[in-house]
Amino acid sequence: MLKLSLLLASLVSLAALTTNPGDLPGLGFLLLPTLVIIGLIIVNGLFVMAEFALIGVRPSQVEHLADEGHGTAKRMAAVLRSPEKQNEYVATAQLGITLASIGLGMYGEPQISHFIESYLAWGLGLELHDTLVRTTGYLLALGLLTYLHIVIGEMVPKSVALAAPRRTVLAVAEPMRLAGLIFKLPVRLLNGIGNLLLRLLGLSAEDDQARLHSAEELQFIVTESAEEGALTKDEREIINNIFAFTKREVHQAMSPRNRMEAIPVDIPLPELLTRVTESKYSRLPVYQSSPDNIIGILHLKDVVQHQLAA
């Protein structure tokens, strides 16, 4: 393949120096196809950026700008809040990618292939319709377009979108709004067919909107974040205690009423100081008449502040 590519480059360079316009297509022949191919790759990349930016952006990033009055951010925030609108947005992006890819193959490959085949046949002294010429021209054209499509139309836009999802999702918001208007009917038709197939499989269209993490996944994220230095040891312990608390039963977290340590509202100060000193709690319920009538909570710090002030 490398040798054939070098041969192709040599033939094209030689052809540009020769005056044989009647038999071979000049470089001007590629002007329009090149512009169309570049345009299709750019369109493909735009839809790829839109799809991955929507996946990568955090709703809070857009909501913050929306609260400040950013018009584009308000529209995107509405999309991020609605699973139905997200489905339509992603479907629009995928339809755009599909159409751009089909157009690139249907239009670009024959144009590039014809140009390459003409110079291959001339350089090798073969007929234009020779099997070797046709096959080689097809493979070279397909390889070139595939490379451009994957690298420039897919990988680079995806990397840009994931590296800066907020800026990207706002930058492509207006083109995606226009694409949504153009593809509105096809997208709804395709979504309807897709939802029907999901129901036949016993699935729900909302299932793919579940981005919630399980408790185990969240604990793994906390552990990874702590190991990478994003969380301190104390922060990690506090968060892990939240997960541990969910496994406790009510009697482990709360005291029965008959064992509750409470104080009457009219307790004398000396007795209060004794109770507070002997208690293992920093907060004590305060009741009036009976422990069934709790009227407030006494904080230990309030008692200390009162004594210091006195």
CA 143/CA 162 separation, integer angstroms: 27
CA 165/CA 49 separation, integer angstroms: 9
Mean pLDDT across 104-109:
89
Per-residue H/E/C for 214-272: CHHHHHHHHHHHHHCCCCCHHHHHHHHHHHHHCCCCHHHHCCCHHHCCCEECCCCHHHH
3-state secondary structure of 26: coil
pLDDT at residue 52 above 90? yes
Instruction: Identify which of 110-119, 185-194, 229-238 has the greatest average pLDDT.
Output: 185-194
Neighbours of 17 (CB within 10 A): 6
pLDDT in tens, 196-235: 888 888 876 555 445 556 667 777 788 888 887 878 888 8
Mean pLDDT across 90-98:
93
Contact indicator for 275, 284 with CB cutoff of 8 Å: yes
Task: For the sheet with 263-264, list strands across it.
Answer: 263-264, 283-288, 290-299
Contact indicator for 294, 285 with CB cutoff of 8 Å: yes
pTM of the full structure: 0.61
Q: Is the dihedral of CA 249, 253, 259, 264 positive or negative?
A: negative
State the pLDDT confidence band at 83, using cuts at 50, 70 and 90.
confident
pLDDT in tens, 112-125: 888 888 877 777 77
